[in-house]
Amino acid sequence: MADVLVVAEVFEGKVRKATCAAIACARQAAAALGSGYCVLALGSGLDEAAKELAGYGAAKVLVADDPSLDQYLAEKYAPTVAALAKDFAAVFGTATAFGKDLLPRVAGRLGAGYAADITRVVFEGGKLLYERPMFAGNAYGVCELVSAVHVVSVRQSAFEAAAPAGGASPIEKVAVVAPGAAAGRIAWDRFAQVKSARPELAEAKVVVSGGRGVKDKFSDLLGPLADLLGAAIGATRAACDAGNAGPELQVGQTGKIVAPELYFAVGISGAIQHVAGMKGSKVIVAINKDPEAPIFQVADYGLVADLFKAVPELVERVRAVKG
C-alpha cells in the first residue's frame, strides 16, 4: 500500500511543472517510509493528463474526472481530496496558488497538521520531518506533524523536477465527493489570465528580471533580450508597485518563486524579499551600477555597469553569436 499521495495540479488539461517537484519530494518520502506513492488528478477532461502522470512510476494514478470540477474551486475539490487522503500517511501538493488555496482546506477537513512551502524532507527516528524557510529564507526550521495524516505543500524551486520513470502506472477512476451546502454559495466567475507569447514565469528555463532601476523601459530594454533567449520576464515588487511591470511578473517572497537554469537580475539591488524568490536559480547574472549592491553576493556572474548601455550591448553580442 502506498503511504504518500500527490495532488497533481492540472490546468486546461495539462500537468503543471510544479507537480513534478511535488512528485520528486513524494518519491523521497515514500522511499524513507519503505512504500510507494499515488498521484491524484482532479478536473474535467483528464485523459491526456492521466496518461502523462502514469509515466512517473506511481503505484496508481487516481482520477476524479467530472464536469462539476471543470473549473477549480477549493470548496469543490477539497472534499474529494480529503476523503481519499484518509488512507495515506502524507499528502503532498504544490506550493503554488493552487496548492496554497486547496491544501489548508484539506488539512482542516482532516484535522491534520499542515507544513507549508517545504524545501526538504527529513526522515529521523522513524518519522517524516519537514524543513521550511523562515524570515524570507534567512533561516530554516524543521517541523514535526503529529497528526495521523500529514498535509504538505512543496516549494518547486527546492526540488529537481521528477523525470518520467518509464512504464505505465494503472489508472483508476475515483468518485467525486459532493461538496457541502456552503459550496453552493460559491460560484465560478472568470479567470482573468494574462496571455503572453513568452514562457510562463514559474516554469521558464530562463528568466530576465528587472528592478526599480529599469524604470519604465521593461518592454524596450528587457524584451529584446528575453525574446533572444526564449525567456520569461520577471520583476521586483518595487517595479510592480511603481506600475512599470504587471503584478503577474513579480518574483519574490510575496510573488512567484522561480528556479530557472539562468536568471538575469537587471537593475535589482537584491533585497532579501526578492532573493527569497529566485536564489534557487542554477546560474544568476547580475547587472547593476552599484558595486555594493547585495545582489552580487548571490550572483554567479556580476557586471558593474550602466544597465541602459550594458543590456543593449549584450543583446547585440547574443544576436551575433546566434547568427
- Residues β-bridged to residue 278: none
Give pLDDT tens digits for 256-315: 989 899 999 999 999 999 998 898 899 999 999 999 999 999 999 999 999 999 999 999
Return the closest-CA partner of residue 167 out of 59, 61, 57: 57
Cell representation of residue 131: 524543513
Q: Strand 60-65 relative to strand 90-94: parallel, antiparallel, unpaired?
A: unpaired
Q: Domains (ranges, CATH) in the chain?
A: 4-185 (3.40.50.620), 201-321 (3.40.50.1220)
Q: What is the pLDDT of residue 165?
A: 83
Is residue 201 a contact partner of residue 252, using CB atoms and an 8 Å limit? Answer: no
Give pLDDT tens digits for 241-259: 999 999 999 999 889 989 8
Compute φ and ψ for 234, nearest 5 degrees.
Answer: -125, 175
* Amino acid code (one letter) for 318: V
* Amino acid code (one letter) for 71: Q
CA distances to 189, 192, 270, 290, 293 from 287, rounded to whole Å, are 42, 33, 11, 9, 10
Assess whether pLDDT exceeds 60 at residue 1: no
- Mean pLDDT over 70-83 rounds to 94
The mean predicted confidence, pLDDT, of the chain is: 92
Give pLDDT tens digits for 140-188: 899 999 999 999 999 988 898 898 887 789 999 999 999 888 888 888 8
Assess whether pLDDT exceeds 60 at residue 33: yes
How far, in Å, CA of 323 to CA of 317, rounded?
Answer: 10
- Mean pLDDT over 114-118 rounds to 94
Give pLDDT tens digits for 47-66: 999 999 999 999 999 999 99
Using the structure block, give the residue that is written with the C-alpha cell 520513470.
Answer: 165
Is residue 46 a contact partner of residue 19, using CB atoms and an 8 Å limit? Answer: no
Return the closest-CA partner of residue 41 out of 9, 71, 80, 88: 9
How far, in Å, CA of 104 to CA of 117, rounded?
Answer: 12
Give pLDDT tens digits for 196-227: 778 889 889 999 999 999 999 999 999 999 99
